[in-house]
Amino acid sequence: TVLMCRGKAMRDFKGPDCRFVNFKKGEAVYVYYKLIGESTELWAGSVGSDFGYFPKDLLEINHNYSNEELELPTDVSLTCF
């Protein structure tokens, strides 16, 4: 897994289920995947030790780590345990 970029949460987010990562405004969010297909508004990343999806428009990118973008089709989804 390649770390693509880091951003700052522009507002609080609480996901609808366990596939999503929750964060508070101002927290650092690390992006690993940009989803393509039906859910192009979602990215996957981590906040602390939590990993999951979040709406990309809630993130203000402030550092790029990789020029390579790793895109996953939306049918490859995280599952709840």
Say how far apart CA 1 and CA 70 lie, in whole Å: 9
pLDDT at 3: 87
pLDDT in tens, 17-41: 999 999 999 999 999 988 767 767 8
Q: What is the pTM of this model?
A: 0.78
Domain architecture of the chain: domains with CATH: 2-67 (2.30.30.40)
Burial of 76 (0-12, 13-18, 19+ CB in 10 A): exposed
